[in-house]
Amino acid sequence: MRRGAPGFARWFLLCVSPPDEREFLLDDLDEEFAELAAAEGRGRAVRWYWRQLLTSAWPLALRRLRPRPRGGPSPSASRGIGDDARFAVRLARRNVVPSLTIVATIALGIAGTTAVFSVVEGVLLRPLPIEDPGQVVRFRLLHRNGRLGTSVAWPDLQDYRAQTRAFDAMAGASPGEMVYAGAANAEFVSSLAVEEDFDRVFGLRPAIGRWLSAEELREQREDVVMLSHAFWSVRFGGDSTVVGTAIALDGRPRTVVGVMQPGAFLYPSADADVVLPLHVPRESFRRNRGAVWLPAVGRIRSGVSFEQAASELSVVGARLSIEYPASNEGIHPRLERLHDTLVDPVRPMLLLLSGAVVLVLIVAAGNVASLLLALANARRRELAVRVALGGDPWRVRRQLLIESAVLAGVGGAIGIVMAPMTTRLLLGLYPGGLPRAEMIGLNPIVLAVSLGAIALAAVLAWIPSARRLARSDLRHDLGAGGRGHSAGARELGQVAVAGQLAMSTVLVFTAGVLLATHEQLSRVDPGFRAEGVLTFELAASQARYPEPEQIRTFFAEAVRRIEALPGVRDVEEASFVPFGPCCWGDVFVREDLGDRGTDNPTAQVRWITPGYFRLLGIPAVAGDDSVNEDPAQRLVVMNETLARQAFGDTDPVGKTIEWNGLRGWRVAGVVRDTRERHWMPAMAELFVPMGWRRGRYLLVRHDGAPETLLGAVRETIRGLDPMVVVDDPATLSARMREALAPHRFRAALVGVLGAAALFLAGVGVFGLITQAVGRRTREIGIRMALGASGHRVARHVVWEAVRVAGAGLGVGALLALPVRRVVGAFLEGAAPNDVGVLAGTGLTLLLVTCAAALIPARRASRVDPLVTLQSE
| Binding stretches for another protein (CB under 8 A) | 1, 13, 16-18, 21, 24-25, 27-29, 31-32, 51-52, 55-60, 62-63, 68-70
Closest CB 129 distance from another protein, rounded Å: 58
DSSP string for 157-212: HHHHHHH-SSEEEEEEEEEEEEEEE-SS-EEEEEEEEE-TTHHHHHT--EEEE-PP
Closest CB 30 distance from another protein, rounded Å: 9
Instruction: Determine contact, residues 153/314, Cβ cutoff 8 Å.
Output: no
Closest CB 83 distance from another protein, rounded Å: 21
Peptide bond into 619 cis (omega under 30): no
The two beta strands, 136-142 and 148-149, are antiparallel
**Closest CB to another protein among 54 and 855?**
54
**Closest CB to another protein among 62 and 556?**
62
**Closest CB to another protein among 7 and 581?**
7
Rounded CA gap, 684 and 687, in Å?
10
Element of type H or E holding 865 = helix 865-871
Closest CB 4 distance from another protein, rounded Å: 15
**Closest CB to another protein among 40 and 624?**
40
Q: Please give the single-letter amino acid code of residue 104.
A: A
Of the candidates 586, 584, 582, 580, the one whose C-alpha atom is nearest the C-alpha of residue 698 is 580
Phi–psi pair at 537, nearest 5 degrees: -110, 140
User: In Å, what is the CA distance from 725 to each residue of 180, 578, 700?
Assistant: 10, 21, 17
Q: Which residues contact 641 (CB under 8 A, 6 or more apart)?
A: 673, 681, 682, 683, 684, 685
Closest CB 394 distance from another protein, rounded Å: 22
Rounded CA gap, 251 and 63, in Å?
88
**Closest CB to another protein among 59 and 818?**
59
Closest CB 71 distance from another protein, rounded Å: 11
Instruction: Determine contact, residues 123/350, Cβ cutoff 8 Å.
Output: yes
**Closest CB to another protein among 51 and 529?**
51
Angle among Cα 68, 73, 78 to the nearest 5 degrees reads 45
**Closest CB to another protein among 66 and 94?**
66
Closest CB 51 distance from another protein, rounded Å: 8
Closest CB 66 distance from another protein, rounded Å: 9
**Closest CB to another protein among 61 and 142?**
61
**Closest CB to another protein among 54 and 474?**
54
**Closest CB to another protein among 58 and 584?**
58
Closest CB 388 distance from another protein, rounded Å: 22
Name the DSSP class of 128: P
**Closest CB to another protein among 52 and 327?**
52
**Closest CB to another protein among 62 and 214?**
62
Of the candidates 509, 518, 517, 508, the one whose C-alpha atom is nearest the C-alpha of residue 755 is 508
**Dihedral over Cα of 595, 598, 600, 605: its sign:** positive
Of the candidates 646, 633, 634, the one whose C-alpha atom is nearest the C-alpha of residue 604 is 646
Closest CB 58 distance from another protein, rounded Å: 8
**Closest CB to another protein among 59 and 127?**
59
Closest CB 389 distance from another protein, rounded Å: 19
Rounded CA gap, 414 and 398, in Å?
24
Closest CB 395 distance from another protein, rounded Å: 20
**Closest CB to another protein among 390 and 566?**
390
Instruction: Determine contact, residues 761/848, Cβ cutoff 8 Å.
Output: yes
Torsion, Cα of 443, 447, 448, 452 (10° steps): 160
Rounded CA gap, 327 and 333, in Å?
13
**Dihedral over Cα of 81, 84, 90, 92: its sign:** negative
Rounded CA gap, 566 and 546, in Å?
32
Closest CB 75 distance from another protein, rounded Å: 12
Residues β-bridged to residue 194: 173, 277
Closest CB 70 distance from another protein, rounded Å: 6
Phi-psi region of 60 (alpha: psi -120 to 50; beta: other; left: phi over 0): alpha
